[in-house]
Structure 1
Amino acid sequence: MDSLIQRKSQMISIIPLPRGIRAIKATWFLIFMCVAILYVHGLEHYTSIQFAYSMAVTFIITQVCHLIASLCDFFEEIAHVHTRYHGNYFNVLKSSLNVRHLSLVTLISIITYTFSEEVAFPRFSFRMNLLITLVCNLLCKHFGLQDPSLAAISEITEKKHLNVAHGLAWSYYVGYLKFVLPALKESVRAFNEENNNLLKSSEAGRLHILIPLSCRIHGDLKEGDKNLTFVKEVPPLCKDRGGIKKRVFKNNVYRILDEDHRPYYCIVEYATPLASLYEMSDVASAAFSKEDRIQQAKLFCRTLKDILENSVECHNAFRLVIYDDCRQYEGNGEHTLSEEILKHLKQQRSEEYDLCLRT
């Protein structure tokens, strides 16, 4: 029992606990102190209505400044309306501006303007103005009226590499691709010797990493597209990994049929970390929506592409196949996957053919 308590105590001393409400308590304490000072030093010279009017004006100025900063985010986000917001301009507005806060500022502005002729605007001292401004900002902080917009949060997480997608992409590279891709060339050579040079083109010998934006991953590619059929395994790579001796890493060759039922062959597999994104969107405690999932899938692709293109050992050993399969699950585009893979294979064949003609 004592050892269990000791282990729990040790964990608490290492693992940070969720943040509490001390910041809220400090906010209200400072508000109380400022109001008390204003009451003691200002009530004998000014009326409560003058104080309220001055605070309303200060609040409007504070929030208008915040609104202008949000408009700057809006002009940036509108340039990404198709890639980040699916062409929905209202989502751009909602991501950049807080409509509820804007409505509150408008309402207070109308009320303040209505009573502006009846209330003489007081000329407070610098100290009184400072206290009123401080109270307004503390109230805005407490009620979340100056929280960063969704667009600003997204920009921060992308610049600081704090996205889920960033961690998944690096984990996928360091824990798998970094040693599988450099060994793939030798595995393909051995496979071709045993299978009549089936993967003869350089494109077929690359690992085609499938990145569906829906993040839906099937155990067998045929479940996602009937034009794909498993053929055979490439000779596996055995490597000591994570305490497991001679852990086996396999890659599979698939046959892809085009619209004329002509066969093409290549090494294909899903980017398995996308399965984590899909599962997260099904768990309520993860607070991960479908829109978040699609956005993270795009960022995963961008991050992985940057990592692999800057990796010398992985050069010319991969091909990222990104496709939007959302319409596939709406009853359309049942051969989206095979069509995307064939685009890459046919493009490479055309380039190799042109190169042969030149030489």
Structure 2
Amino acid sequence: MTFILSNLSFHSPMNLCWLCLLEFLKLDECPISTSIKLSDFHGLDYGSGMATSFFHGYLKIMLPNTGGSSRSFLEFIELYQAQHKVTFDVRKLFILLPMSCECFPSLQCPSFPNIEESKPLDELERDVAGVKKRIYKNSVYKIKKPNRERVYVSVEYATPLRTFKEVISHNSKYSKIYEKYKNDIVLNFYLTLKAILKENPQCDGLCEVIYYNDKNPDGSYKNVGNLILKRIKEIRGTLKKKKD
């Protein structure tokens, strides 16, 4: 229900009815009420703000071909394939959005035993906001399939989630309220980012956003390598159907 209502307009008659019902039943603190209230900010909530900044401050710089002398993400992929004699099954930047906001420094870690680090893509230099030759680069990992074949993929966490987790973990003015509504904020981050990408086709086809529950019932972390392999299989299946 939270997922559905997070996109609703607070000022619609339906939502006004919801709010009257919530007020009558004294359910002001329930997740449904929270999602409706967050939607009333029309993009000014924390999650939407993070998504907008992430797109314009990073993805829009890294991904598309701007027509200048700098290489695009696809050109970096093609160069990498030629230099290292490998092939990317899907030539996209995979962005991970774990619901817990836990972003490991590297995807090569005990929780993901089938993921290995590889050399990163070449660096992109840009002059940004007074910073000369700021460096942007994307990581590359090898994910081992059950048949031991290795799949190359460019994948990383959405870095704003790491910052958000830091905000929550510190005893600041808004930490407790952010922690209380963390799930709604992360969901709004995902929904807003997907909407922005859809509005920018020059980036949408180069980015695959994976929003997922990263915890097992026992508290351990799910193997995101298997999740990425599953998504790659789905993408390749869709592309094959389009060709047929």
Instruction: Show CA shifts across 1:202-233 (max 9, x none).
Output: x2x10000110101111111234222111111
Instruction: Show CA shifts across 1:123-171 (max 9, x none).
Output: xxxxxxxxxxxxxxxxxxxxxxxxxx646533422xx222111111111
Q: Distance in 2 between the 1:74 and 1:151 partners?
A: 15
User: Which of 1 and 2 has higher RCO (CA within 8 Å, sep 6+)?
Assistant: 2
Task: Note if contact 1:166-1:300 (Cα within 8 Å) is conserved in structure 2.
Answer: yes
Unaligned 5+ segments in structure 2 are 1-14, 65-71
> Within the alignment, does 1:341 sit opposite 2:200 as a pair?
no
> Within the alignment, does 1:72 sit opposite 2:18 as a pair?
yes
Q: CA RMSD in A?
A: 2.8
Tell me the secondary structure at the aligned position of residue 87 of structure 2: coil
> What residue is the counterpart of 1:295 in the other structure?
184
> What residue is the counterpart of 1:206 in the other structure?
92
Which of 150, 162, 182 does residue 44 from structure 2 map onto?
162
Tell me the secondary structure at the aligned position of residue 148 of structure 2: coil
Instruction: Show CA shifts across 1:145-200 (max 9, x none).
Output: xxxx646533422xx2221111111111111100101110111111111111422x
Give the number of the structure whose alpha-carbon radius of gyration is greater.
Answer: 1
TM-score (norm 1): 0.55
State how many pairs are aligned: 217
What is the CA-CA distance between 1:314 and the residue it aligns to? 0.7
> Within the alignment, does 1:248 sit opposite 2:130 as a pair?
no
Task: Note if contact 1:230-1:255 (Cα within 8 Å) is conserved in structure 2.
Answer: yes
What is the CA-CA distance between 1:254 and the residue it aligns to? 0.5
Instruction: Show CA shifts across 1:252-298 (max 9, x none).
Output: 11011234433211100110000122112212322335341222111
Task: Note if contact 1:73-1:151 (Cα within 8 Å) is conserved in structure 2.
Answer: no
Q: Distance in 2 between the 1:253 and 1:239 partners?
A: 21
Bigger Cα displacement from structure 2, 347-356 vs 183-192: 347-356
Task: Summarize the Cα distance change of 1:152–1:311 in structure 2 as closer, same or farther, 3 Å threshold.
Answer: closer
Q: Distance in 2 between the 1:302 and 1:169 partners?
A: 9
Question: How is 1:1-359 mapped onto 2 (pairs within 5 angstroms)?
Answer: 72-73=18-19, 93-95=27-29, 150=34, 153-157=37-41, 160-182=42-64, 183-199=72-88, 201=89, 203=90, 205-223=91-109, 224-285=111-172, 286=174, 287-327=176-216, 330-331=219-220, 334-335=222-223, 337-355=224-242, 358=244
Task: Summarize the Cα distance change of 1:175–1:227 in structure 2 as closer, same or farther, 3 Å threshold.
Answer: same
User: Larger helix proportion, structure 1 or 2?
Assistant: 1
Tell me the secondary structure at the aligned position of residue 265 of structure 1: strand
What is the CA-CA distance between 1:94 and the residue it aligns to? 4.9
Task: Note if contact 1:210-1:269 (Cα within 8 Å) is conserved in structure 2.
Answer: yes
TM-score (norm 2): 0.78
Task: Summarize the Cα distance change of 1:329–1:226 in structure 2 as closer, same or farther, 3 Å threshold.
Answer: farther
Q: Distance in 1 between the 2:115 and 2:181 partners?
A: 29
Q: Distance in 2 between the 1:252 and 1:155 partners?
A: 34
How many percent of aligned residue pairs carry the same amino acid?
26
User: Larger strand proportion, structure 1 or 2?
Assistant: 2
